[in-house]
Structure 1
Amino acid sequence: MHLNHMFRIIIGIVLFGILNQSHAQTYDIGEWIEHFSKRDVVLMDESGGVIYAATHSSVFMYDIESGEYTTKTTAEGLSDINITAIKYNETYNFLMVGYASGLIDFVYDNDVFTIVDIQQNSSLTSKVVNNIHYSGDTAYVACDFGLLLINIPQKEIKSTYFLGTSQQSVVVKDVTIGFDSVWVATDQGIFVAPERGTNLYNYQNWSTVDILPDYEYNFVEKIGSSIYCAASETDRDHIYIYSNGQYEEFAPNNEFRSTRLDKRGDYFTMIASYRIWFLNDNEQFVEDLYFTGYNNNWIVPNDGFIYNDVVYFADKVSGIIKLYDEEELAFSPNSPFANTINQITSNQGVTYVTGGIPGAKYNAYGMYIYDGYWINLNSKTNSALSSIPNINYIAFERGNNSKMYATSYGYGFLVFEDTTLTDFYNADNSTLQNIAGYPDVYIITTGLQADDNMGAWVTLSGVPEPINYYDGSGEWMSFDLNSEITNSTLRELEKMPWGHMWCVEEGSGIVVFDPEMLKAGQITNAYNRFSVKSSDGSGLTTVVTAMAVDHDGYVWFGMDEGGLAVYYNASSALDNDITASKIIVEQGGIAQYLLENERVSSIAIDGGNRKWIGTETGGAFLISEDGTEQIFNLNTSNSPLPTNFIRDIEVDQVNGIVYIGTDEGLLGYYTGVKESASSVDELKIYPNPVYENYNDLVRIEGLQDEMKLKITDVGGQIVFETTATGGTAYWNMRDFYNARVSTGVYLFYASSADGSQTASGKVFVVSP
């Protein structure tokens, strides 16, 4: 539809059409979507029929009656990861969360308040929060450096007690209140002091319970008329019951390790390896059971409680375990199987994450698949994979989104139809080779790419023929490139738009090969090996850390010594020893090389040809198409990223989400930049209509990259214009004078630079 024809549309008809359109805006620009694993439950509490569970990097609440979950992570306000203590307070209705960093959160239904004093105290060494106990308006917090007293209503630290001297520190593991005294479990025994009336800042006013055996104590709890405490020695733990100056050992003939001694819900929980006891306030046993882990996995529960005669355990692999009527049920919020990430791949809007990291042959994490809901495919969840753990790379057959290839670090090559394993290849039925010197199977897979002929290329490390080809029907070929790469370490296999394959040769540089020529036996002219040099002949690096090709055919790569460089003439690399260029940028008026102090770990290209750069210490960077502008840097100080170590980055160009995989888990960052449309006609505009209380951006999709977009009122007056990034553009409903436009219909017209592609659309805006 041409623009001049659009002007003649009757407004009433336009409005009717607009009001009958709807397109929900799922995320806002810059919004984070967390995807931390919720299966590694290490701590639990219960109050009012709600389970409060903590994993390494999140807390979640589970309403037992309704079955509903609520999660909290760094994306929803938690201050950190590495959670080490939790305790629910029924008086003030909040969950206190302590961390290894010394941070302490007050987690409410709709808010999180953080105490940062300990974390920011540079005079303290280890700041781990070990346990929490409430007494009235005070939270007693056991930490590695000493004992904190927190005023709950004021949310501030009111006292800090150091039980040792400057020459000999005392690590505080747990604390309880009983018999008008404060009892503390430490690495040097049980300490006790009056709760009131004594200067507890003076370490000499703390005394040890000398009658107890001289061990390191991890837990202490007042139960009934006694003090229960758990001690640890080299080969076993002990539980002692102290009362009236005397003590006795609980279960003295059992050898165990104590993992919990605490008040959980209405009862006290004692976990001693696979033996678990629950006691009431009168020291009577409510339950005494022997539990060998979920499905007899022999994983010792980390925590547990009883609610309505049903037992719940914390399991670090399977989530929460519910025991009832001699049945076991494992549950947790839907999430990836683990936080371990090797590769992230997006295919037609579906995200695939592999957990097979190098050096972890027996890792059972497999792959995690997300299409609005996580599916975990590994040796624990799929019997066909029971002997094939540690999946590290995946790729899809060209033109067939249901056929997936995968490699297993240590085991070989897999073929899937959707999520069903159809074929598996190792050294016995393919050209894949085990690394020398190992008595059993050990195939070190380092890269995987599908080709254009329904086959796949696999690189290996440390074997005579490290380049292997699978033809899609069971036949294999392998290559050593005239013995030039025998026993080399190859990795970072990338398929180029012009058909060649590139890979990194550790310690040497780059290997480029023509797949079709290799298969045809034209070996001598089918490859090129070259070191990484600049135009002046100087070497840039011997270790390329990451590599990606952009929409212009330029190959960007990271270097071991830090920084980025680019091959602008990459397509000629098979026949020429090409040279690379570093990007010079200006920082604070000083010229320097792009990211020269950052070791790059991953590179991804978005729909606008911008570069997303993951680093090992600096977080994630977004740089402009040509690399001369740093758009922003996302890191732990300004985002929910749990660490600054980025293992992989992938752009989902269908949904406009950048997935950032750290060494502590996965997050998504919504950019709204989507793939450029192959052809255009009608624009997708939403929200539509725009109501007066909407103050965010209007999103326009269905564009091609760098299309010019003009927005006019129905009288033809241009009110705004912009350029598309990828297949998307945005409008803030303001005109050239930054004033919000008046109520009415606005018409959109987009065109390519040469005018060969056009598209149009319309939106109704209601202004206050």
Structure 2
Amino acid sequence: MKKIVTAILPTLFILNGIAQDKPLGSWTDHLPYSSGEVVAIGGGKIYCSTGSAIFYIDKNDNSVNRKSKVNGLSDVGINSLAYNEQSQTLVIGYTNGNIDLFKNESIFNIPFLKNNLTIPNKTINNLFVDQEYIYLSTGFGIVKVNTNKREISDSYIVGNNGTYDEVFDVTVLRDTIYAATKNGVKYASTKLNLTDYRNWKLIPDISRFEYRSIEKFENNIIAISKKISNISDSIYIKKGSKWTQYKGFQKDETKDVIAIKDHAYFISNREVAKMNSNHEMIDTVYNYNGISNFNPSYVAIDNETNNLWYADLDIGLVRQNNNNYSTYSANGPRIKNVFKLEANGGKVYAVQGGYNSAYNNLYKYPEISIYNSGTWNYLVPENESKLNGTFDLLNITINPANKNNAFIGSWGGGLIELLDDRVVNVYDSSNSRVPSRTAYSWFGIGGSTYDANGNLWVSHTYTDTLISVKKANGDWYNFGFPEDISSAKSVGDILISNAGIKWVLIPRVGSTLEIFVFDDNGTIEDLSDDRKLLLTSATENGNIPGARGLVGAVDQDGEIWIGTDDGLAVFYNPDGVFEGNKNAQRILIQQGADVEILLEAIKISDIKIDGANRKWIATEGQGVYLLSEDGSEEILHFTINNSPLISNNVFGLAIDDINGEIFFATEDGIVSYKGDATNGFNDFEQVEIYPNPVRPEYSGPIAIRGLVNGSIVKITDINGKLVREMKSLGGQAIWDGNTINGDRAATGVYLVFSSSGDGNGNLKTNVGKILFIN
């Protein structure tokens, strides 16, 4: 199998999530920016981490800017931030031990901890600034980073007998460093050799519980122990040499204590309490003066303006100016752990549901994120009451005739219908033929899809009624096959072949998989001419590989591609299944002298077909593959190591058929890649060339889009001399700006001749122009 590990198009990182003409090969982040976790202030900017990325406010123009792996960060999973004034550097700590230094819009990466294979827990829990240094509280001890030299200066192991002891926070008071650890508060004199674990002592005056926060407050130290079982967290204050438990503020869980000038702020569950220098609680904030949500996780002060800034888990970033509050965030979906995506006509729907490995409920919050015209919006029970009672949203079907009409399947809550971004129906047994699980009011939608006549077909799990159909006129019918399909089986997606045969995927049958094939012969109401068949893993009755998980797609040739936990297989003639063409075929590839099975033992989570009939394959653990039409060639393979993909666990894919953008759903959010194939058109009435004109500073690919599928495109100079010839990928052809000889095209006007036959000897043509400035 030919492998092309790097993209065939230049990989470009772009920031603007609302750009309509994104360059081919570019990446865009669609990450949640409404969940603020930590604030850091310095250099005229207010920084806020969201876990997957950072956004920041430039005080010079009040603009909101993004920073993610797509445009410069080295990783995802941000756990801590701190700004070092002396070096004018923002330090970013990640859960995997990675470190980024952000200065003057440039990133300097220190991957030493991340790449160290001997350390079991490298999570960076917190950062503490001390002159030009940053102390990193990590899962194994303390790491000291010199931000001027951009290097690790030292590391300290504070556990007994030199063992690793997780450190959650650090502070320094005069010549003593204090560490909040999993086994109490440790301290050591900075005058001693801190690399010698014997110089780190446990404070005996306070409990040996886990301490998550420690802070210098004027000349005192405040430490907070974590709540354990039925024991509430405790606050201890060191005055002079004595530690005493503070009783003036007791909560089940205090997230953090942060000292700001002559006050200390205690952040607990949906409140922030303020302590003065006499250790008196003088104020408690419960809301942002009229703003509905209040879930702060961090607070910092802008010393130039004395404004307080809150990182809020529900809102993003909140500025407090006296008693006035303002909120800030960058546009994006609210959900982070995305399970499935679907796209049509430039519109994308995303959900965060799913189920566990036994196909039981996770009871995830019902949120639907919707992307349209460069902007994300969302539906939740708070703004759409019909979503109350639904949960675990896991499949999406968009009406091919109306991108604003979509159906969302819930794993127990029924079938949700959207129209113009509002919930108009939730279908269950009370208003449709959607059946309930026996003895439960549980309506599990395995999948849904439209047929060529505008009928919506739906599969159901844990019932004797396997399939229902909502006809184009609104009437419902259903079909039960209790003699073939046990109501104990989990049911997945439903596919429809070119001949209208329904293929219901059953992803869990003990240690094997099944597909139920049903043909209503185009007569939904007449059951007498129906046909049915159950395919299995048996060699002559399906030959379905794998033991768990079953996803599929119908390609442009009518072939059905399926993916399991054991790679790919293809039904090359699904319309002949009742005539004996029952078996799925594995794709064999040549690797040197060996013959191997394509993607064998790789868990496939989604399959999508692009405009050129190529296969995009999402996997759990191996990123995303782009395969040629027949699967024999690996065109692209995106992973976290060779691209801005933010996770190798990709659960869902969606392809925008208008512009070829591919969206990837992961547990860390959504990113997209501008692909080079779009769906073809029936004529040449919508041909566009981008960019046009091609200016001297542009060296990327030039797209000729809006073409008939598989068009031949010839580029000539004004005198008719052939410069380049190519075939479109679906409805789009790509020119690299070079001639047949590989030279850059000279300045001038070039003609673009596009042609396509209709199969009956008739030729459709189009002529366009490109102005090339070199």
TM-score of the aligned structures, taking structure 1 as reference length? 0.89
SS, match of residue 571 in structure 1 = helix
Distance in 2 (alpha carbons) for counterparts of 1:310 and 1:218 = 26
Query: How many angstroms does 1:334 deviate by?
Result: 1.1
Instruction: Tell whether the 8 Å contact from 2:536 to 2:543 is kept in structure 1 after alignment.
Output: no
Query: How many angstroms does 1:501 deviate by?
Result: 2.1
Question: Which amino acid letter does the alignment assign opposite residue 610 of structure 2?
Answer: D
Distance in 1 (alpha carbons) for counterparts of 2:20 and 2:385 = 39
- Inter-CA distance 597–384: structure 2 relative to 1 (3 Å threshold): closer
Query: Equivalent of 1:757, from 752, 764, 771?
Result: 764
- Inter-CA distance 406–472: structure 2 relative to 1 (3 Å threshold): farther
Question: Which amino acid letter does the alignment assign opposite residue 178 of structure 2?
Answer: W
- Inter-CA distance 378–273: structure 2 relative to 1 (3 Å threshold): closer
- Inter-CA distance 691–343: structure 2 relative to 1 (3 Å threshold): same
Query: How many angstroms does 1:378 deviate by?
Result: 1.9
Question: Which amino acid letter does the alignment assign opposite residue 392 of structure 1?
Answer: L
Q: Does 1:623 find its partner at 2:623?
A: no
- Inter-CA distance 265–464: structure 2 relative to 1 (3 Å threshold): farther
Query: How many angstroms does 1:563 deviate by?
Result: 2.0
- Inter-CA distance 542–80: structure 2 relative to 1 (3 Å threshold): closer
Distance in 2 (alpha carbons) for counterparts of 1:583 and 1:89 = 55
- Inter-CA distance 414–172: structure 2 relative to 1 (3 Å threshold): closer
Question: Which amino acid letter does the alignment assign opposite residue 251 of structure 1?
Answer: K
Question: Which amino acid letter does the alignment assign opposite residue 256 of structure 2?
Answer: R
Question: Which amino acid letter does the alignment assign opposite residue 555 of structure 1?
Answer: I
RMSD: 2.9
Question: Which amino acid letter does the alignment assign opposite residue 93 of structure 2?
Answer: G
Aligned to 2:133: 138
Q: Does 1:223 find its partner at 2:217?
A: yes
Query: Equivalent of 1:239, from 235, 239, 249?
Result: 235
Distance in 1 (alpha carbons) for counterparts of 2:338 and 2:608 = 16
Q: Deviations over 1:297-354 (max 9, x none)?
A: 9975321235557654333233335567878765421111202323211111111112
Query: Equivalent of 1:368, from 364, 370, 388?
Result: 370
Instruction: Tell whether the 8 Å contact from 1:36 to 1:335 is kept in structure 2 after alignment.
Output: yes
SS, match of residue 520 in structure 1 = coil
Aligned to 1:30: 25
Q: Is 692-701 or 383-392 further displaced after alignment? A: 383-392
Aligned to 2:717: 713
Q: Does 1:204 find its partner at 2:198?
A: yes
- Inter-CA distance 253–73: structure 2 relative to 1 (3 Å threshold): closer
Query: Equivalent of 1:680, from 676, 679, 684?
Result: 684
Question: Which amino acid letter does the alignment assign opposite residue 587 of structure 1?
Answer: Q
Distance in 1 (alpha carbons) for counterparts of 2:399 and 2:111 = 50
Aligned to 1:650: 654
Aligned to 1:270: 266
Q: Which runs of 5+ in 1 are unaligned?
A: 1-23
Aligned to 1:80: 75
Aligned to 2:207: 213
- Inter-CA distance 572–635: structure 2 relative to 1 (3 Å threshold): same
Instruction: Tell whether the 8 Å contact from 1:564 to 1:594 is kept in structure 2 after alignment.
Output: yes
Distance in 1 (alpha carbons) for counterparts of 2:426 and 2:479 = 21
Question: Which amino acid letter does the alignment assign opposite residue 116 of structure 1?
Answer: P
1:419-430 matches, within 5 Å, as 419-430=421-432
Distance in 2 (alpha carbons) for counterparts of 1:274 and 1:569 = 59
1:176-215 matches, within 5 Å, as 176-196=171-191, 198-215=192-209
- Inter-CA distance 631–403: structure 2 relative to 1 (3 Å threshold): closer
SS, match of residue 573 in structure 1 = helix
Distance in 1 (alpha carbons) for counterparts of 2:288 and 2:504 = 44
Aligned to 1:103: 98
Q: Does 1:259 find its partner at 2:255?
A: yes
Instruction: Tell whether the 8 Å contact from 1:46 to 1:264 is kept in structure 2 after alignment.
Output: no
Aligned to 1:382: 384
Distance in 2 (alpha carbons) for counterparts of 1:672 and 1:267 = 56
Query: How many angstroms does 1:464 deviate by?
Result: 1.8
Question: Which amino acid letter does the alignment assign opposite residue 608 of structure 1?
Answer: A
Aligned to 1:21: none
Q: Is 258-267 or 647-656 further displaced after alignment? A: 258-267
Q: Is 427-436 or 622-631 further displaced after alignment? A: 427-436
- Inter-CA distance 25–647: structure 2 relative to 1 (3 Å threshold): closer
Distance in 2 (alpha carbons) for counterparts of 1:310 and 1:692 = 46
Instruction: Tell whether the 8 Å contact from 2:715 to 2:752 is kept in structure 1 after alignment.
Output: yes
Distance in 2 (alpha carbons) for counterparts of 1:27 and 1:267 = 48
Aligned to 1:494: 495
Instruction: Tell whether the 8 Å contact from 1:469 to 1:477 is kept in structure 2 after alignment.
Output: yes
SS, match of residue 336 in structure 1 = coil
SS, match of residue 409 in structure 1 = strand
Instruction: Tell whether the 8 Å contact from 1:517 to 1:526 is kept in structure 2 after alignment.
Output: no
Q: Is 77-86 or 302-311 further displaced after alignment? A: 302-311
Instruction: Tell whether the 8 Å contact from 1:259 to 1:301 is kept in structure 2 after alignment.
Output: no
Distance in 2 (alpha carbons) for counterparts of 1:454 and 1:92 = 63
Question: Which amino acid letter does the alignment assign opposite residue 403 of structure 1?
Answer: N
- Inter-CA distance 599–45: structure 2 relative to 1 (3 Å threshold): same
- Inter-CA distance 537–424: structure 2 relative to 1 (3 Å threshold): closer
Instruction: Tell whether the 8 Å contact from 2:167 to 2:181 is kept in structure 1 after alignment.
Output: yes
Instruction: Tell whether the 8 Å contact from 1:482 to 1:523 is kept in structure 2 after alignment.
Output: no
Q: Deviations over 1:683-724 (max 9, x none)?
A: 422222222232222221222232222211122221211111
Aligned to 1:148: 143
Q: Give the fraction of aligned pairs with identical amino acids, expressed as a percent.
A: 27
- Inter-CA distance 535–756: structure 2 relative to 1 (3 Å threshold): farther
Query: How many angstroms does 1:729 deviate by?
Result: 1.4
Distance in 2 (alpha carbons) for counterparts of 1:456 and 1:71 = 40
SS, match of residue 575 in structure 2 = helix
Aligned to 1:14: none
Q: Deviations over 1:356-380 (max 9, x none)?
A: 3232335232343333100101213
Instruction: Tell whether the 8 Å contact from 1:747 to 1:760 is kept in structure 2 after alignment.
Output: yes
Aligned to 1:6: none
Aligned to 1:552: 557
Q: Which runs of 5+ in 2 are unaligned?
A: 1-18, 356-360
Aligned to 1:20: none
